[in-house]
Amino acid sequence: MKRSITRRIKKLSRLEYFIRKIRQYSYLESFTIITAFLIIGYIVNPHDICLTQEKIPYLLILLSILTLFHGFESAFIAMTLISLSMWQFYDKFPYISFLVYLMMVLIFSQFHYYWTKRIHELQIDDDYKASKLDELSKAFYSLKISHDQLEKNYVLKPMSIRSAIETIILNRDKNNMQYLDFLVLLEKSFSLQSGFIIHKIDHQLQKTLAPENSLISYTKSYEQDTDEAALFDDYIITQALSRKKPVFVSDAAHNPTLETTQESRYLAAIPTVYNNEVLSLLVIEKMPFMAFNKENLISIAILLEYLSIEIYKENIMQQSEKIAAIFSERSFLYEYNRLQHLQKQYRVDSTLLILKIDNELQTRRVFEKTQNLLRSLDIVTQTKDKEIYYLVILFPLNDQAVALGFLNRLLYNLKHEKDKKFEYMTFSIKEEKLIYQYITDDYHG
């Protein structure tokens, strides 16, 4: 069973590779196929090279396949070759046949456009849900590690790793201090003796972690190198950055070992990868034999990823100053900025439904009912401006119809008629100025 699954995966990967190559050279492929068709048509009937008089519309079938698979550009190349052939080899140019082919190509290309756009939107939706699931799983695992560590060391170290990380994250004065504090936490909880963390200065510069866009935080016992750029030439560090996976010195059974190789002076390098971007890299130089095992390395990797992603979120949340000024909830701000980025980059829209209420008790009742009706990815937050309360509901990767549908469900489920009396508006996530004006300006001068 396992072999058959592996075989299917290999076949699928080969098929994907083949399709990718075909699309990469789509123009050449279209030119070759149409040329071959015209040659065959000339052999079959030199006076009807496009086979327009045949009972079966061979050319139309071929054009439909090319256009639906590659789109209008390839179809344009095909129609150009066909028109030149008709002009050259026909006594009288077959305008009717040519216009029929052209009309069908336009229809096929329009279908290809909408179909490709829909597939692209579904891919973005799938990536977004996968990233959300990954974030939740990392948060859950960090909580599990925290509780396990708390049970083991409650008498000696009565603290929670997760709470310690939360405290570290809140230390926003210096980005470097957050990673220094994390190294201290690793020293106490996992007996890390010597190492350092390479981390990004600015996540907007470039995706590759490099000397020019990174800082290095060292443990106190680590002997710092004069040339920090040379660290990136180390074998284990290079492998971890290129593979974007943890790399550690192992024995024949692939278990961690303290026997360093001539290629590297370090025991392990653990990267944090988010959205295919390396945010940070933990490099372990010294660690006790009993502590250097897979379980601890996995735990360290999860905690580092949790910390780095939270720091990354903090940086992202600072991009929309106006929205950050009216919303204080961190999770909402991050999702807003992330969805706004998706809209700008891929033009995949999300919608906000804003409820305006002038009564605190009514706001509480509507808020609780809203929380009960939300889907798993929807987010709600509340804010207040000059005695006016606003409930803001974010619908990721959905249009206005979804927001209005939710509003109808909310009104239906509210029992008291007085709770249903509130103003509302829907906004696209790209309408940041209007959102800010609606909450701060429109009703208060």
Q: Based on the fold, state whether residues 419 and 364 are members of the same structural domain.
A: yes
Burial of 64 (0-12, 13-18, 19+ CB in 10 A): middle
Contact predicate 267/248, CB 8 Å: yes
In terms of domains, do 109 and 43 share one?
A: yes
Residues 21 and 78 reside in one and the same domain: yes
- CA pair distance 380, 374, nearest whole angstrom: 8
In-domain check, residue 133: no
DSSP class of residue 110 equals: H
In a domain, 111, yes or no: yes
Give SS3 for 32: helix
Whether residue 171 is found in the same domain as residue 283: yes
Instruction: Report the distance separating Cα 377 and Cα 162, nearest Å.
Output: 24
Whether residue 308 sits in one domain with residue 180: yes
In a domain, 207, yes or no: yes
What is the reported pLDDT for 260?
56
Is residue 290 situated within a structural domain? yes
Q: Quick check: is 154 in a domain? A: no
User: What was the pLDDT predicted at 259?
Assistant: 60
Is 308 in the same domain as 354? no
Token readout for 62 is 């071929």
Q: What is the DSSP letter of 250?
A: B
In a domain, 141, yes or no: no
User: Do 170 and 288 sit in the same domain of this protein?
Assistant: yes
Q: Which domain holds residue 432?
A: 321-440
Per-residue pLDDT tens listing for the chain (445 residues): 434 434 444 444 565 666 666 666 777 888 888 999 999 988 988 888 888 888 888 899 999 988 998 888 888 989 999 999 999 888 888 888 899 999 999 999 999 999 988 888 888 888 888 888 877 777 776 666 665 655 555 444 445 566 677 777 776 655 568 888 889 888 888 889 999 999 887 655 456 788 888 888 888 888 776 577 788 888 899 889 888 888 888 755 556 665 655 568 889 999 998 877 888 999 999 999 888 888 888 888 888 888 888 888 777 776 666 777 788 788 888 889 888 888 887 788 999 999 999 999 999 999 999 999 998 889 999 998 888 999 999 999 899 999 999 999 999 999 889 999 999 999 999 998 899 889 887 544 4
Q: Choose the final residue of a domain: 296, 317, 338.
A: 317
- 268, 291, 317: which is the final residue of a domain? 317
- pLDDT given for residue 426 in this prediction: 95
- Quickly count: other Cβ atoms within 10 Å of residue 21's Cβ: 10
Q: Is residue 134 one of the residues assigned to a domain?
A: no
For the chain, what is the domain count? 3
Task: Tell me how far CA of residue 313 lies from CA of 106, 135, 203, 309, in angstroms.
Answer: 44, 12, 10, 6
Whether residues 436 and 325 share a domain: the answer is yes
- The CB-side HSE value for 299 (13 A sphere, CA atoms) comes to 21
Q: Which residues pair with 357 in a beta bridge?
A: 389
First-residue to last-residue Cα distance in the chain: 69
Can you give the CATH number for the domain in which 435 is found? 3.30.70.2880
Q: Are residues 194 and 313 in the same domain?
A: yes
- Candidates 187, 208, 188, 185; CA nearest to 198 is 208
Statement to judge: residues 49 and 101 lie in one domain: yes
Q: Return the structure tokens found at 347.
A: 């033009």
| DSSP letter, residue 233 | G
Q: What is the CATH number of the domain that holds 271?
A: 3.30.450.40
What is the pLDDT, as a whole number, of residue 251? 54
Same domain, 344 and 312: no
Looking at 267, 288, 317, which one is the last position of a domain? 317
Question: Quick check: 292 and 302 in contact, CB under 8 A?
Answer: no
pLDDT value of residue 400: 92
- Whether residue 108 is found in the same domain as residue 169: no
So what's the pLDDT on residue 110?
Answer: 93
**DSSP H helices in 58-94:** 58-70, 72-89
Q: Does residue 100 lie in a domain region?
A: yes
